[in-house]
Structure 1
């Protein structure tokens, strides 16, 4: 519905769906659903809570994370100014409201997102609050209900916002292991990093009528594919037809449907305690991270920290840069490729199988690009489809069953944003990889060898040790995409690259990356054999200490790693 005055002062509203002029009080009685055409208007978090929970039952979380500006992001406005404007405009402190309440008498923990606040974007504070809600649900053994409305991860917090996908997902994993019900309610819109993590990896996924959900937004898909989108694409009914949600529920029936689900959960056997690996203790503030570099050998150059990030972006994308198959040939021995997701497809953008490194058997999974236009097209430019993510998932589960370590090689501009990928559940496929990797009871070493693009990269990078080649990049969004959204035009991509703090030294200082692997002078493409040897040494050195760690301890430490990216733990952490 559209109107010019504040909601509380409006007498009339015009429906955005059918353009009918509606009496505001009548619209409110109908829960902001147009009585003429059924269009569901977007709700802010306070209104959503009033509709869903029992009167006077909601108790907000008593604590709130500290404000953070972890990378000092500035576009046409400094990030703190954008936060201040969002708080003034919404009356909220962040893009989510969290607490406990009862729904039809059933006690739940709740996290309700608000799209009005910077597009409901997932930043460190939002991730921290939702994670605390999940931890409260685990402590009290009560269901967790997530109401999502988001455009994705928050660009202004760089790769740290990307990490929140893993942080919240592993909190959901702990609830799954403990037998505590988790429910997400998708509202309009739910996209990007939220769709590809906790919005779709809960036990039940409900979609409110009129909701839209997907990994990539319609505008991005049209730009990438140059195709018109099918009628009703990414709508709640589309999601239901393609098996991506449990049910579509009109707003008036939503509270009653949640009550039925909660009653069924309460009638089951009491949740059991999680295994020791599932519950990570609340960690203290982490180290801010110090750049660690593989010891240099003769002729190995390590460019200075002041090198222009846009130069690094272009180096990461160089067509001659070694690919995953190149590294498998030169840095690993005896690679045996395994194909297929066992559900009907074999994505060429993801390769994986059995190999050896320093004589030790491992499972290796990585993105595969190419060196020529024909190879890039055949491999979909390294952009994995849902089948690619499911193939990776199958191979990592095989590794766990065989007791083999996992090595992942990350080199992708992002996950496949095409229509077919959305039809086959791209967001849920990424979400399941992130959740499963947080539980994998075997060592995992991830290496960003070229581009580490958004959720497509994180789907292979929830690891015990995360390494980056010196000329690789890892980011929540491409510089071009960031510039197109926050700057007047895409020509500001170089500025966006600097603002995003996406280089290996920056990410090492932020604690996202553990080690920077040097490259030969001129980059990995100038001496692929030397680059492969450096990668082999780095993988072996980081894998060896993990081999004797008990599986439960591995999982616990991995979860502690990603839990530390919460806002309360980032005070004082920054790159300037």
Structure 2
């Protein structure tokens, strides 16, 4: 099973079929005249059968044609030199020409010392190719093998659209020779820098699922059917109590009902994870829909940033988005403020406002102020019978208006926060799966 030290071609064979290597014309490269470098390269070639530390070509992964960039760790520790950069550049260029995704199977110790700063400059070269591939709207999936350090992590790894980490891999910017060992892919996952931890024996299946998801966009996300109450609330306070009921269906229930299967992404790529926000891509009737769902808790800055990352990625790949709104509001404690709550909320508002793909929103529970509105698509929000949306909670509204606590229910009515109120006010387009008789119906 792949980890990192296996030969590049063996790893390719494990995850793909029909591999055809891209031709190249790599001449010798010893820009610094480093003593013994030519001999080291010759020995690496004899030992591995490869002429460089990456093997690049086209292969089939689960029925999807992809360009594969596989690192040969046995060739000078999978290090990045000038010829490595040339091969990676060629691979990304070929992917854009053929309009196919890129899969990077990374195992590298970093830049090649024997080529000095010229080797380091390959990071800019690779970053340029990643940027061009993003602009072309093509997906890039990275697999972090053991080890993935230095520039390989800081470009191909961390810069990919979806980052899969093999269990037990060492992953970090600094390698074990310049800092104590032990910083693993598990730490990177906990910090929101890796999307999924993958057991080696599941890698092929996971790659097949991801490539299918990222290359089969739906036209738009349909409105999910309501799963909870079948009648509308009589009063504003009734609506609030329904939305806060512990037994009400939550985001996980809706996602399970909406999709045949789905794969999550993880984290905001800035060191944070909010377990109260679920983001990813789901397959339904043979096509893909992205999702960003609140789980009923106060949404933290990492949650907004993760959702904004999801919307931005889906938009770039032409995949429609479904958002599920359910939060009492944005987290506003000292920790959230320090983590940039306002800026994170702004990121989500902007991502939705800038999206060119259709975004469908379903309010499935509490819609608390701006923390909920940031997840909602303008003019494309539907509501369920057990939901409400308000500028602020009735309790806090009453307090701000200096009303007695006993007037909270009255305040809820005056806020006009019921599902039917939201439709009448033009805030929502309709009540999900509600027929004229007021009963929830199936899609």
User: Structure 2 length normalisation: TM-score?
Assistant: 0.48
Which protein is bigger by CA-based radius of gyration? 2
Structure number with the bigger relative contact order (C-alpha 8 A, sep ≥ 6) is: 1
